Amino acid sequence: MIRYLIVTGLVFTLQSCVPGFSEEKEKISALNNMLQADVDFSNRSKEAGMRKAFLEFIDDEGILLRGGRMPIIGADAVDFIASVNDSAFTLTWSPEGGDISGAYDMGYTYGIYQMQIGDSTHKGTYVTIWKKQAGGEWKFVLDSGNAGVEPADSSALTE
């Protein structure tokens, strides 16, 4: 009888742990898929140019936040991207992290971007908000960046 109670208790304990583990596994998988979309987006920018990459990865209602401008929304954002002459620079980036909603259908990534213009390299930070589309692919619904990233200097934190 004691053996039965121990085995039954163990079975109930394990069953109660499995859904949490399964949910965490699903969240990690969805987050990795979204982070991979960000990497794919950057790779496409490097291969085909910033304009083409942004046009492929923007949601129909996507928003661009750019310095000195009001938010550029939806069709206006697409028109803005389409008008960019990207022949003189290469824009790439690398996600440093992100998170995803409990429904696994929206999330954000952030990281460092690099713009190569001739022999000059400019770096900055970015954040992109992503939305999972009906077909399962990820498109961005908001993109923003800030210029100017300096190497980490721990002494600046103490001053």
The CA distance from 125 to 141, in Å, is 17
**Predicted local distance difference test score (pLDDT) of residue 14:** 46
Task: Write out the DSSP string of 1-26.
Answer: -HHHHHHHHHHHHHHHHHHHHHHHHH
**For the whole model, what pTM was predicted?**
0.81
Calculate the dihedral angle through the C-alpha atoms of 136, 77, 35, 118, rounding to the nearest 10 degrees. 140
Residue 136: left (phi > 0), alpha (psi -120 to 50), or beta? left
Would you list the domain boundaries of the chain? 26-150
Please name which of 135, 132, 131, 112 lies closest in space to residue 122, comparing C-alpha atoms: 112
Tell me what percent of the residues of the chain surpass a pLDDT of 70: 81
Tens-place pLDDT, residues 100-123? 999 999 999 999 999 999 999 999
The CA distance from 69 to 76, in Å, is 13
Tens-place pLDDT, residues 137-153? 999 999 999 998 776 65
Options 3.40.50.300, 3.30.360.10, 3.20.20.370, 3.10.450.50; CATH for 26-150 is: 3.10.450.50
pLDDT at position 96 over 50: yes
Backbone angles phi, psi at 13, to 5 degrees: -65, -45
The CA distance from 53 to 68, in Å, is 23
Token representation of residue 64: 């661009």
